[in-house]
Each structure stands twice: as C-alpha cells, then as structure tokens.
Amino acid sequence: MSLSTLDGTLHRGCGGRYALQTETVTMRLSGMAAEVTREFFRCEKCAHEQRTIEQRDAAEKSATEYIRAEHNLLAPKAIRQLRESLGLTLPQFAELIYGTPKGIVDGWEKGKYLQNREADALIRGLADRETLELRAAKAGVPLPVVEMAAASVPAVVPAAGAGAAPPAHP
C-alpha cells in the first residue's frame, strides 16, 4: 500500500483525516548528522502519523546532500571516475579501501549509500600514486601498467667507475 499522497484521506482507525505537515528533524547517516525539513501526514483527529515511501526517500536524499556538502565528501560520480581513471574493477577498488564489501562501494558509486569521512579520505588517498601502489601491494591487487615519463627517471649507474676498478682475477 504505497500512496504518493495521503492528504485528505480517511484514517479508518478514528474517522479523522490526514493532512500534510512538515517537521525539522536531525537525521543521521554514516555517523554524520543533518537538519532536514521533511513532510509527513498526520491525522487531524488522533495525531496518528504516516510517511509515504516518497516522503522517506526525499528526506533521506536531502540529508545525504546536506552531509555531502557539509563534509566535502566525494560525489558518487567522482568516486566512479577515480576508480575508472585508475583502471580498477569494482572488487579491486574495494580491496584497496581496506576490503570494504564491493556492494557497499557499488552503493557509493550509485549514490545509494554515503561514505563516511574515513572512507572518503581512503578513497581520495588512492589518487596519490605512491599510496595506491603501497595499498595495492598490501592487498595483493595487480595494478594496470602505467606509462612513466621516461625523461624524469634517472638512469641507474654502477658505483665504481670503469678505470678505477682493480683488475679482476677470475
């Protein structure tokens, strides 16, 4: 029984009618709080409250948007773009975020779940090549080969010069 609006509908329990109301509440997501003004229906006679699926979704969405902006968390699209720019699959990427279940990471990329600040920092850390390689080595995840700028890599030269070494006696 999912109705998008209950405004004016009968509350069978008491014979009263539901009216649209708004309330400002503190919602918590992933350990972070947001003040959200949300809609619901209240029976004018007995004060029974009802929330439609649409109202719940809308409230959760505004809480997510508020918290993401407040804590400067990566948007779902940005997470996906980072992963793809590294050439990693979802399971590989999840391994590099200390073995976060891939379903959770998928939820982050789709905006279904909101990463907390710690997870956000871990994701951002992967943009740094050194951090990426370190975590990949620890997790045993093979990284796609990247082409290095050859000019900036110093050539490895043997320590002893050719003329200075004493003749070897095999």
- Please report, as ranges, the residues that interact with Zn ion according to CB under 5 A: 11, 14, 16, 43, 45-46, 48
Nearest CB to Zn ion, comparing residues 47 and 121: 47
User: Minimum distance from CB of 19 to Zn ion (Å)?
Assistant: 11
Contact (CB, 8 A) for 23 and 38: yes
Residues 4, 9, 14, 16: what is their CA dihedral angle, to the nearest 10 degrees?
Answer: 120
- Mapped onto helix, strand or coil, the DSSP state of residue 33 is strand
Token pair 């009968």 is at which residue?
Answer: 10
Q: Which amino acid, one-letter code, is at 149?
A: A
Q: Are 141 and 133 in contact (CB under 8 A)?
A: no
Report the residue number, 15 or 103, with the smaller CB distance to Zn ion. Answer: 15
Q: How far is the CB of 139 from Zn ion (least distance, A)?
A: 56
* Closest distance of CB 40 from Zn ion, Å: 14
Alpha-carbon dihedral 118, 121, 126, 129, rounded to 10 degrees: -130
Task: Between 33 and 46, name the residue whose CB sits nearer to Zn ion.
Answer: 46
Pick 8 or 87: Cβ nearer Zn ion: 8
CB of 24: closest distance to Zn ion in angstroms?
23
